[in-house]
Each structure stands twice: as C-alpha cells, then as structure tokens.
Amino acid sequence: MKIQNQHYHTIWTKKDDPETVQVIDQRVLPHQLVIHDISTPEEAALAISDMVVRGAPLIGVTAAYGLYLACLRSTADTELEAVAQALKAARPTAVNLAWAVDTVMAELRDVGAEERTAVALAAAERIQSEDIEICRMIGVHGLELIRELYQKKQRTINVLTHCNAGWLATVDWGTATSPVYHAMEADIPVHVWVDETRPRNQGANLTAYEMVQQEVPHTLIVDNTGGHLMQHGMVDLVIVGTDRTTSCGDVANKIGTYLKALAAKDNNVPFYVALPSSTIDWDLKDGVKEIPIEQRSEEEVTHISGWANDQVQKVRLSPEGTPAANYGFDVTPARLVTGLITERGVCEASEEGLLSLFPERAHTHG
Ligand code: MRU
C-alpha cells in the first residue's frame, strides 16, 4: 500500500545486499518512517519480540527470512533447529509464526546442505508473495459483505476495527482492512471507526496512519466507545483480524476484541473476522482453553509513548508501585462470530464452515 504516495511492502531484501532483510520499524510509526535492517536470525527474533514488526502474517514472513539468514551462517541441522525454536518462541499467540517456521524447515530437511540457502530464500519469498495474494482475495470476498450492506442502506457504511490488521500487519493489503480498501476502489462510501487499542495503541499509531495514507475516511475512538456507537446505529459491521483460529472457529485477537464481539451480538451488528488460512490451528478446538495468550511487560500498561520534542518519548501513567497485568490477546468464541472471511470465501465460524472451504483438512486434524 502507499506511504506518501509511494508503494511499499512491509518487508523486502535490501537492494544490492540480498543478505540483509529490511522492514518498516513499526515502533516509531506514525511519527517517523524508519527502515530497520535485519542481518542475523537473532535480529529477526528480536524484531518480532520487540514488535519492530508485528501482526500475525508479518511475523511469520519475518521468521521465514530469519531462517534464510541462519542458512547464510550455517546450514547444519543442529544450528537450524536451534534458530527455528528461538524464532517460534519470539511470540506465543500467533500461529503463523510456527506455521512459517515449520514450512521452511520441512523444505530444508528435504535438501542437502549446499542447497539450503537458496531453498530458504525461495520459501521466504514464496510465503511473502502468497500473503499478498491471500490478503487481496480476503478483500475481494469481504467487499461483497460491504456491498450488500451498501445496497440495503444506500449510505456510507461504517466499519469498526480493533488493533491493526491492516497492511502493516501483513505484507500488503492487510486482512481486516482489505475489504475496506476494495470498497474504496469500488466507489462504495466507507468510514472506519479505529479503536486506539491500548496498551500499545496499534489502532491510533498504525491503523490510523494507514487510513491517512490511503485517504480512507476514519475516526479514532478510545477502546470503550464501540458499544455506545453500536447502540446508536453508528456501526454497520465489525471486521477484525486474528492471530489464531481454532478448527471450530474460535478466534484469538488483540485484547478487547471479545468485548467488541459481545457488544456487537447485543446490538445485532455483524461481527466478521478476516484471516489467511495460515492462521488456522487445525489441532485446536476450544480457543479459550487451548490458545496460549501472550503476557507482555507491565511497562506497556504503566507508561505510554508519544511524539514530543522531535522524538518518541515514554511517560508514566500510573503511580510508582501499582502492579499491572498485560494480557496481549483474548479469545472470541465462535458463537459470537457472524462469519470468517478467508482467501477462499466467507464461511460460518464452525468446523463445518471451515471444512466447507478447506475440505482437504477433513482427514488431517484431530
Ligand atoms: O500484538 P500485535 O500488534 O502483533 O497484534 C496484532 C493483532 O492482534 C492483529 O489483529 C492480528 O495479528 C491479525 S493481523 C492481520
């Protein structure tokens, strides 16, 4: 998508130095556009855990490139297995990370040491370009939901989203935002309510930035506003992303998503979740019991970052000595989800729904 009218992806290999991977440093957006170099697998793992890059699909792609960087140093099995474990441990909730690492590792195990660097690079590039097409297709299918509402209401369609499931969380297009961008292209008037998404403010910092750059009409709201807007008919549909979807359609997404789903249910507002199939964990059924929820540092809650004196600065919000809990994600049970928007189409959030789109998984999950 565009930044200052120039087309960007979120990750690429450096021009004239293919042994360096470059990403947009999301810690300083929207205030600064800084390109961050990653030259070792350790730097790739750190970029993921430190949230230089974030968002389920993008951390998967970054990990795939991390294995390529590992191969540049050593293609020995033991070294690659250790890097694979370290990359997977960088963040626990998004299953795309483990999926991407396992995908690349399976290909590396199949070839001799001398081929591994080329195979790892090709796999990372393939996962990256597949992500672009998958997100585009999520937009194509999600557009029809927006179009249907527009045909019925004949006015601007108000979409509420939480966190950043936009192009900055993927390689391009985003998941939850792709239908919005496709609606813009189809000349359907849309407006996006952007949840600020405490504690790290991915909505205020990243989704709002995307909306400005793509010229999408939008309004930033604090996290607790959605229910009020829904009670007053000001939200036509909710679209969020997910970090892990169980085979029965439960979805883990940024903390606070569950409360939006409850409010949507109470107000008859359709609640859709947009996801690439790499987000489906076919081994899990009950999301609340089985999905590991990341807990991050207290400081992300007790402090807040912003732009002052030409730099990103952190200030304290709460008294010294107040403990804080920082659960990164929550699980929205399938019963609260109107539908799942995937690259193959829209389905019910259930095992039957998912298998209707992915019948090849019928015999491969427990
Ligand atoms: O902690 P983050 O910023 O990585 O959380 C991101 C989200 O919760 C996104 O909604 C999710 O990864 C889907 S991204 C297409």
47-92 pLDDT tens trace: 999 999 999 999 999 999 999 999 999 999 999 999 999 999 999 9
- The Cα 364–Cα 347 span in angstroms is 20
**Residue 332: CB within 6 Å of ligand 1?**
no
Structure tokens at 131: 């992500």
Ligand 1 atom, smallest distance to 162 CA: 10
Alpha carbons within 13 angstroms on the beta-carbon side of residue 254 total 24
Centre of ligand 1 from the C-alpha of residue 235, in Å: 21
Which is the catalytic residue, given 243, 250, 281, 330? 243
Percent pLDDT > 70 in the chain is 99
**Residue 202: CB within 6 Å of ligand 1?**
yes
Strands 218-221 vs 190-195: parallel, antiparallel or unpaired: parallel
Q: Are 53 and 59 in contact (CB under 8 A)?
A: yes
Strands 271-274 vs 339-342: parallel, antiparallel or unpaired: parallel
Q: Which amino acid is at 131?
A: D
Q: Residue 100's pLDDT band (boundaries 50, 70, 90)?
A: very high
- Which ranges in the chain are annotated with CATH 1.20.120.420? 2-130
**pLDDT tens string 244-269:** 999 999 999 999 999 999 999 999 99
CATH 1.10.275.30 fits 2-130, yes or no: no
Q: What is the pLDDT at residue 363? A: 78
Ligand 1 atom, smallest distance to 176 CA: 15
Centre of ligand 1 from the C-alpha of residue 176, in Å: 10
Is 243 designated active site? yes
Q: Residue 366's pLDDT band (boundaries 50, 70, 90)?
A: low
- Which ranges in the chain are annotated with CATH 3.40.50.10470? 138-361
Element containing residue 228 per DSSP (H, E): helix 226-231
pTM for this entry: 0.97
CATH of domain 138-361: 3.40.50.10470
**Residue 353: CB within 6 Å of ligand 1?**
no
Q: What is the pLDDT at residue 270? A: 98
Q: Residue 364's pLDDT band (boundaries 50, 70, 90)?
A: confident
